[in-house]
Chains A and B, each alone.
Chain A
């Protein structure tokens, strides 16, 4: 009798053990999901019993769904990816675990990351809500073939007036546009001129600063490019945008380093070898994009969620895997010293581009996130479009944008 019981207990124990393939849900937006798909097999080598299930939604949908889910406490994943535009909003809310506290004790890892990412994920009252996984050092993409055809030296584009002058030359010699959307020149200027430890749109005290001279200059540059007919008036992330990159109808683009991953993987793989990168004009360094992983307080698998986040953010192999898969620039400093950083990038004609980006990443001033970043971004986008498309004058467009943002900060 006793033996039977023992046997039964053993059986029960083993069957439990066998059945214990835990599922971990990770909510993520594209193309960070492609990075995870490269990282999960590596993670599973250490945690074979964990099945990682991805919930993939588009960028805006993902964050909106996360916002409502956090508010209602229903339908939350175990791990949530957060893009930089939203990290301020989520840090000010209460829905994420404070990783400073036990059992996470993330304080010990902070020195491992590019310093400004830590500030971004920290709330005003000192809670640390998400671990950084990638950063987006802003960079200057150009088509070497088009520039050569037009006889333009890329170095001559390292000042903004020089950039516009080169644009005219390119347009008349090759018919190609300087850039897809003049607005991107405004954005890279806005991001690059943000003072240390500020949000792009707010000062340290939280006042709206979108009518300050750096915004006026950024808007003026964009307007001059539009007025000279040098941009193709193509919005980012549209089929026309991909088409323009494929066909070489635009010569340059400002973006985060991660754009190389998009170009190479699906947007324009056939343009391999035709692109190059250089630093931004006038010694500017900007942060353009960046992602984090946090644990919603309502998660039922917090311990495992933490293991997963710790693995993808603090191990070199995971960070390098993501970097190779989609060009997600590692937030982990150690990964930036990986020998693969010196390898030539075939897509960029064998350029040692990663060293250039690493240099940029180390010079970027730390940005601070604000909970109103998203709405400020949307209002400023509308203002820029009024200036570029409808000919509204810049001071009144910016004054109006400032008023609109201030109204929202109730």
Chain B
């Protein structure tokens, strides 16, 4: 008996040690990002590399402002993320509601199409998408980035799952008897009840578009229209790279994500796995 409890303790301690090691390895790059953001290039690549914060954050920040339209790019990022999130929450929940609560012809097949689009690797659509945007003359316009994302397959899937499980059909019938139109049912009954799921989908969508790169990089052609990840990338290159400034910009790019995550980590993680566990 005693032996087994000692063994259990050892296993437990070993587990803690393993988790701690993994945790350090996971956090270290973030830590170095913040540390390097406060140092000059010569310090970052000197010996030993800085392990603690320095005093060059402001000068790095000044370099950022001088070399790139930093806050303009930040605003572009925010604008894109907000437009995609707001429109996609609306259209995805509307479609999810349609799939969840109505019987209609071809329902299963159409839902199958929605799911099938999830399986197509997004990056392979880059060239076709570019050709289309070129054809309709939307190159270098922000709408080329958010209009196509107004309704997302992931969103429709998540919303349908949630509405099926959370809203009894009788509720809708009662509303109909009270004279609600179908859209009013969505607006007055469904929307308030799916708030938690909307929050989760909103987080996922916001983070996803905050981090976008490949398509922005080909559609947006001037420094004024590019988003922050794309503009930061242009700082990296052949000669005289200001790594301290790049790290300062990267830290400012990542900071909002960390903040959002600190506030809503549980919700985000549960939302992302709920679909996976059920399927």
Tell me, yes or no, whether A and B come into direct contact in the complex with CB atoms closer than 8 A.
yes
Report which A residues bind B (CB closer than 8 A). Answer: 29-31, 55-61, 65, 68-69, 72, 74-75, 237, 239, 243, 262, 266-267
B238 contacts A237, C-beta separation under 8 Å: yes
- Extra A-B contacts (7), CB below 8 Å, given A30-B238, A65-B221: A30-B240, A31-B239, A57-B234, A58-B238, A59-B237, A68-B218, A239-B243
- DSSP majority for the A interface? helix
Provide the bound-state CA to CA distance between A213 and B64, in Å: 48
| A243 cross-chain contacts in B, Cβ below 8 A | 45
B239 contacts A59, C-beta separation under 8 Å: yes
A75 contacts B234, C-beta separation under 8 Å: no
B59 contacts the other chain (CB 8 A):
no
A266 contacts B240, C-beta separation under 8 Å: yes
Chain B contact-residue range equals: 10 to 19
B238 contacts A60, C-beta separation under 8 Å: yes
> What are 25 A-B residue pairs whose CB atoms fall within 8 Å in the complex?
A30-B238, A31-B239, A31-B240, A55-B223, A56-B67, A58-B235, A58-B237, A58-B238, A59-B239, A60-B237, A60-B238, A61-B234, A61-B237, A68-B221, A69-B221, A72-B139, A72-B221, A74-B139, A74-B140, A74-B221, A75-B221, A237-B238, A239-B41, A243-B45, A267-B240
A262 contacts B223, C-beta separation under 8 Å: no
- DSSP majority for the B interface? loop
| A56 cross-chain contacts in B, Cβ below 8 A | 67
Provide the bound-state CA to CA distance between A30 and B234, in Å: 12
Closest Cβ of chain A to B185, distance in Å, is 45
- Max chain A C-beta neighbours (<10 A), residue from B134, B140, B222: B222
Closest Cβ of chain B to A16, distance in Å, is 25
B274 contacts the other chain (CB 8 A):
no
Provide the bound-state CA to CA distance between A369 and B225, in Å: 33
Cβ contacts B235-254/A at 8 Å (1 or 0 each): 11111100100000000000
| A61 cross-chain contacts in B, Cβ below 8 A | 234, 237
Known: A55-B222, A65-B221, A68-B218. A75 touches B239 (CB 8 A): no
Provide the bound-state CA to CA distance between A60 and B236, in Å: 11
| B222 cross-chain contacts in A, Cβ below 8 A | 55, 75
Question: Which B residues from 197 to 232 make CB contacts under 8 A with A?
Answer: 218, 221-223
| B218 cross-chain contacts in A, Cβ below 8 A | 68
B239 contacts A30, C-beta separation under 8 Å: yes
A72 contacts B134, C-beta separation under 8 Å: yes
**Nearest chain-A residue to B47 (Cβ)?**
A243
- Max chain A C-beta neighbours (<10 A), residue from B45, B139, B218, B240: B240
**Nearest chain-A residue to B141 (Cβ)?**
A74
B221 contacts A262, C-beta separation under 8 Å: no
Provide the bound-state CA to CA distance between A81 and B16, in Å: 58
A59 contacts B238, C-beta separation under 8 Å: yes
| B237 cross-chain contacts in A, Cβ below 8 A | 30, 57-61
Provide the bound-state CA to CA distance between A60 and B218, in Å: 15
Provide the bound-state CA to CA distance between A59 and B240, in Å: 12
- Max chain B C-beta neighbours (<10 A), residue from A61, A243, A262, A266: A61
Provide the bound-state CA to CA distance between A328 and B237, in Å: 20
